[in-house]
Chains A and B, each alone.
Chain A
């Protein structure tokens, strides 16, 4: 097996061994969304208006929920430092791990979002826009939360710290995404904003693994 296959395969084995990691964010998303009509109002017109934004925020939080321990267990049991001995750049391996994480833990959230949108009576075209926005924006968010996790590897109780460190990077993505949703509701052109979001994701997919690998190196170098 090539090194790439081994990295991807391990993520699959881990996902099979810890199914809770996949189910937990989905459960969280469903729970938050089911609370919205209860806490706010069951008025379907209002829900249709705010529904897509609610789903977007809940997805963002669900995504943060499972990325807080991104590298932690691999770091503490010493598997992560073994990656440095592989005959590949660490940034490349990190990129693979981030990709696998997105496919296994984030994509399911995106796939169920149209169904959830239906329960909040979000109009069809807005729900499609929501789906596409999430598809385009979540790679960037996954990268940023991975970077937060890598930067705070050395400190105990790093969970929330990583999220706080990365919050400024989340903001532009959230602003652009809500711009897309507002435009979709008006029926105006969403493509330019989506393109910008896509550019954000592509740029972070290229640059963030490099930053993550440097952060991991620093943290391995400073630990015993």
Chain B
């Protein structure tokens, strides 16, 4: 799958939460094919930054441009997977995926196979373990044609084999012209990425 090359431009982005300046006049541009790791201590504003870039938070100051559109008009070009499970416990794995990703059953089952969850497609999500739940949420990476991936702590609760699968998927995504932003507290196993260190601006 080849994606239309797209740039993600962040300009003069500032954010203040509870009277604390999390980041100030942040500016960078990500070209197609780049991976950015947002690093920082707990509470440094990693999630806030990712959610702001994804368009979930209102931008207090500055702008986020997807291609040449402001992010609020281009959210459908972003795939955001956050802390929350983003799956409904009362529904089956396949139904959850069908709701969020569309596509037909065979396609979705392929995606589930990629994350090693094919045997569970009929199980209710609430019956799965935490790691399996994360695998379901991450299966959306195999169904999405969004060029920009924003993954907040994608490695949480994953075992070594799934981390490898995820790394490979991120690599192939950027190789086909995508952009990926992620955070992790674990030692990243991906080899090539840029790092943005967020620190408290006092």
Residues of A within 8 A of B (CB): 1-3, 6-7, 9-10, 13-14, 17-18, 73-74, 76-79, 81-82, 84-87, 220-221, 224
Contact = CB atoms under 8 A, between A and B. Distances in A.
Given A79-B86, A221-B57, A1 B75 contact: no
A14 B100 contact: no
Interface of B: 47-48, 54-58, 75-76, 78-80, 82-92, 95, 98-100, 102-104, 124, 146
Contacts of A3: 102
B91 A78 contact: no
A3, A74, A79, A221 — most chain B CB neighbours (10 Å): A79
Contacts of B79: 85
A78 B82 contact: yes
B76 A13 contact: no
A82 B146 CA distance: 13
18 contacts: A1-B103, A7-B99, A9-B99, A10-B95, A10-B99, A13-B91, A13-B92, A73-B88, A77-B85, A77-B89, A78-B84, A81-B56, A81-B82, A84-B55, A85-B76, A85-B146, A221-B57, A224-B48
Contacts of A87: 76
A74 B88 contact: yes
Contacts of B124: 17
A79 B80 CA distance: 11
Nearest to B95: A13
Contacts of A85: 54, 75-76, 78-80, 146
A14 to B, nearest CB: 6
A82 B103 CA distance: 16
A10 B86 contact: no
A2 B89 CA distance: 23
A66 to B, nearest CB: 15
B56 A84 contact: yes
Given A13-B95, A86-B76, A220-B56, A79 B102 contact: no
A6 B94 CA distance: 12
Contacts of A13: 91-92, 95, 99
Nearest to A220: B56
